[in-house]
Chains A and B, each alone.
Chain A
Amino acid sequence: MDALKGIKVIEFAAFAAGPVVGKHLADHGATVVHIESKVRPDGFRAHYPPYKDNVHGLNRSGLYALCNNDKLDITLNLKKAPAGTELAKKIAAWADVVIENFSPGTMGRLGLGYEELSKANPGLIMLSSSNLGQSGPHAHHAGFGSQLSSLAGFTHLTGYPGGSPQILYGPYIDYIAVAYGAVAILAALDYRRRTGKGNYIDAAQYETGLQYLAPILLDYKINGRVAERNANRNPHAAPHGAYPCKGDDRWCAISVSNDYEWQALVKAMKNPSWAKKFATFEARKVNEDELDLLVGEWTRGFEPRELMETLQKAGVKAGVVNRMCDVYEDPQLKQRPQWVELEHPEIGKMHYQRPPFLLTKTPPGPAKRDPLLAEHNEYFYCELLGLSEEEYKKLVDEQVIY
Chain B
Amino acid sequence: MAVGDKNQGLLSPFRVLDLTDELGFLCGKILGDLGADVIKIERPGGDPARRFGPFYKDQRDPEKSLYWFGFNNNKRGVTLDLEKKEGQDLFAKLAAKADFVIESFTPGWLDKFNIGYGALSKNNPKLVWTSITPFGQTGPYAKFSASDIEIMALAGCMSLTGDPDRPPLRVTFPQSYSWTGSYAAVGALTAHYHQQLTGEGQQVDVSAQATLLWAFSHAHVFWDLNRHMEKRAGSFMTGRSITGAKMRVFWPCKDGYLNFIIYGGEAGRRTNQALVEWMDSKGVAPDFLKQKDWKTFDIAKVTQEEIDRMEAPIAEFFKGVTKAEFFKEVVKREMLGYPVASVKEIFEDPQHAAREFWRELEHPELGVKITYPGPFARFTNGACDLWRRAPLIGEHNEEVYCGELGLSKSELGRLRREKII
- Asked if B226 contacts A356 (CB within 8 A), the reply is no
Does B293 count as interface, using CB distance less than 8 angstroms?
A: no
| A81 on interface, CB distance cutoff 8 Å | no
A3 to B342 alpha-carbon distance, docked (Å):
41
For A233, give the chain B residue with the smallest CB separation: B172
Distance A236 CA – B173 CA, assembled complex (angstroms)? 12
Complex interface: chain A residues within 8 A of B135 (CB): 332
Please measure, in the bound complex, the distance between the C-alpha atom of A168 and the C-alpha atom of B150, giving whole angstroms.
Answer: 17
Name the interface residues of B358-388: CB closer than 8 Å to any CB of A. Answer: 370-382, 384
- Of the candidates B10, B182, B235, the one whose C-beta lies within 8 Å of that of A176 is B182
Counting CB contacts under 8 A, is A396 at the interface? no
Per-residue interface assignment for chain A, residues 196 to 234, with 1 indicating a CB less than 8 Å from any chain B CB and 0 otherwise = 011111111011101111111111111101111111111
Given contacts A175-B215, A211-B182, A324-B230, contact A203 B341 (CB under 8 A): no
Min Cβ gap B25→A in Å is: 10
A151 at the interface (CB under 8 A from B): yes
Q: In the complex, how many angstroms separate the beta carbon of A70 from the nearest chain B beta carbon?
A: 14
Give the residue name and chain of the B residue nearest to A6 (CB). B197
Known pairs A160-B166, A165-B257, A190-B192; list 10 more (Cβ under 8 Å): A52-B226, A137-B354, A142-B334, A146-B249, A151-B338, A158-B169, A175-B215, A218-B370, A222-B56, A240-B149
Residue of B whose beta carbon sits closest to that of A322: B156
Q: Is A170 an interface residue (CB 8 A)?
A: yes
The answer to whether B343 and A219 touch across the interface, beta carbons within 8 angstroms, is: yes
Bound CA–CA A218/B373 (angstroms) = 9
Q: Which residues of A contact B58 (CB under 8 A)?
A: 223
**Contact across chains for A338 and B213 when beta carbons are under 8 A apart:** yes
B41 at the interface (CB under 8 A from A): no
Q: Which of A165, A356, A360 has the most CB of B within 10 A?
A: A356
Q: Which one of B158, B252, B336 lies within 8 Å of A147 (CB-CB)? A: B336
22 A-B Cβ contacts within 8 A?
A2-B194, A4-B193, A20-B214, A53-B226, A140-B334, A142-B336, A165-B257, A166-B163, A167-B236, A187-B10, A207-B355, A214-B71, A217-B347, A218-B69, A227-B343, A235-B53, A251-B159, A253-B150, A322-B154, A324-B231, A335-B140, A357-B205
A365 close to B (CB within 8 Å): no
Contact of A172 among B13, B209, B215 (CB under 8 A): B215
A153 & B342 in contact (Cβ 8 Å cutoff): yes
The smallest beta-carbon distance between B69 and chain A, in angstroms, is: 6
Contact yes or no, B250 A180, CB < 8 A = no
Inside 8 A of B344's CB, which chain A residues have their CB?
Answer: 220, 226
- Which residues from A are CB-within-8-Å of B150? 253-255, 317-319
The 7 A-B pairs at the shortest CB distance, nearest first, are namely A357-B187, A214-B70, A319-B150, A253-B153, A186-B189, A150-B259, A151-B338
A198 to B10, CA, bound (A): 12
Bound form: Cα–Cα A187–B293 in Å: 49
B337 at the interface (CB under 8 A from A): yes
Q: Is A117 an interface residue (CB 8 A)?
A: no
Does A72 belong to the interface (CB within 8 Å)?
A: no
Per-residue interface assignment for chain A, residues 233 to 248, with 1 indicating a CB less than 8 Å from any chain B CB and 0 otherwise = 1111100111110000
Contact B215 A359 (CB under 8 A): no
- The segment from A84-92, A128-136, A274-282 that touches chain B is A128-136
With A169-B230, A221-B347, A361-B202 as known contacts, state yes or no: A324 contacts B156, CB within 8 Å.
yes
Q: Which of B88-96, B217-225, B284-292, B302-310 contacts A (4 or more CB under 8 A)?
A: B217-225
Whether, in the assembled complex, B162 has its beta carbon less than 8 Å from a beta carbon of chain A, the answer is: yes
User: How many CB-defined contacts (below 8 Å) exist between A and B?
Assistant: 507
List of A residues within 8 angstroms of B237 by Cβ: 146, 167
Q: With a CB–CB cut-off of 8 A, which chain A residues contact B223? A: 324-325, 328
CB distance from A317 to the nearest CB of B (A): 5
Q: Determine the chain B residues whose CB is within 8 A of the CB of A357 once the complex forms.
A: 130, 183-184, 186-188, 190, 204-207, 211
B17 contacts the other chain (CB 8 A): no
Residues of chain A within 8 A (CB-CB) of B343 are 153, 213, 216-217, 219-220, 226-227
B373:A165 contact, CB within 8 angstroms? no
| Inter-chain contacts of B234 with A (CB < 8 A) | 164, 166-167
Question: Which residues of B have CB within 8 Å of A200?
Answer: 379-380
Q: Which of A136, A191, A320, A359 contacts B194 (CB 8 A)?
A: A359
Residues of A within 8 A of B351 (CB): 132-133, 136-139, 206
Q: Is B109 an interface residue (CB 8 A)?
A: no
Give the Cβ gap from B370 to chain A, nearest Cβ, in Å.
6
What distance in Å separates the Cβ of A313 from its nearest Cβ neighbour in chain B? Answer: 10
Within 8 A of A (CB), among B1-49: 10-11, 13, 26, 30, 34
Chain B residue nearest in CB terms to A304:
B153
Kindly state whether residue B106 has any CB partner on chain A within 8 Å: no
Residues of A within 8 A of B211 (CB): 356-357
B54 contact set on A, CB distance < 8 A: 215-216, 218-219, 223, 225
Q: Would A47 and B203 count as touching, CB distance under 8 A?
A: no
Say yes or no: A141 contacts B330, CB within 8 Å: yes
Q: Flag if B355 contacts A135 (CB, 8 Å).
A: yes
Q: Is A362 within 8 A of B347, CB to CB?
A: no
Q: Could you say which of A184, A255, A332 contacts B141, with CB atoms under 8 Å apart?
A: A332
B354 — which chain A residues lie within 8 A by C-beta? 135-137
Is B10 a contact partner of A190 (Cβ separation < 8 A)?
yes
Tell whether, in the assembled complex, residue B159 and residue A324 are in contact, meaning their CB atoms are under 8 Å apart. yes
Q: Is A402 an interface residue (CB 8 A)?
A: no
- Residues from chain A with a CB closer than 8 A to the CB of B378 are 201-203
Check: A178 CB closer than 8 A to any chain B CB. yes
Residue A269, interface by CB 8 Å: no
Q: Is the CB of A231 within 8 A of B169?
A: yes
> Is the C-beta of A297 less than 8 angstroms from some C-beta in chain B?
no
Q: Which of A135, A213, A242, A318 makes the CB contact (< 8 A) with B167?
A: A242
Q: With A and B bound together, what is the CA distance between A232 and B168 in angstroms?
A: 9
- The answer to whether the Cβ of A387 comes within 8 Å of any Cβ in the partner chain is no
Looking at the complex, which of A105-113, A345-353, A374-382 is the stretch in contact with chain B? Answer: A345-353
Name B209's contact: one of A4, A222, A332 (CB within 8 Å).
Answer: A332
Q: Is the Cβ of B172 less than 8 Å from the Cβ of A231?
A: yes
**Is the CB–CB distance between B346 and A3 below 8 Å?**
no
* Chain B positions 63-86 with a Cβ under 8 Å from a chain A Cβ: 66-67, 69-71
Cβ-based interface call for A49 (8 A): yes
Contact of A317 among B139, B146, B242 (CB under 8 A): B146
Q: Which residues of A contact B188 (CB under 8 A)?
A: 357
Alpha-carbon separation in the docked complex, A222 to B54 (Å): 10
* A138 partner residues in chain B, CB cutoff 8 A: 331, 349-351
How far is A240 from B352 in the complex, measured between Cα atoms in Å?
Answer: 35
Residue of B nearest to A16 (CB): B217
Q: Contact between B194 and A356 (Cβ–Cβ < 8 Å)?
A: no
* Residue in A135, A156, A237 whose Cβ sees the most chain B Cβ within 10 Å: A156
CA distance A190 to B195 in the complex (A): 11
**At the interface, yes or no: B161 with Cβ under 8 Å from chain A?**
yes
Find the B residue at minimum CB distance from A351: B224
Q: Nearest CB to that of B353 among chain A residues?
A: A136
Q: Mark out the residues of chain A between 325 and 351 whose CB falls within 8 Å of any chain B CB in the assembled complex.
A: 325-328, 330-333, 335-336, 338, 347, 350-351
CA distance A36 to B158 in the complex (A): 35
In contact, A183 and B169 (Cβ under 8 angstroms)? no
Query: Chain A residue with minimal CB distance to B259?
Result: A150
In the complex the two chains form, what is the Cα distance from A356 to B70 in whole Å?
A: 24
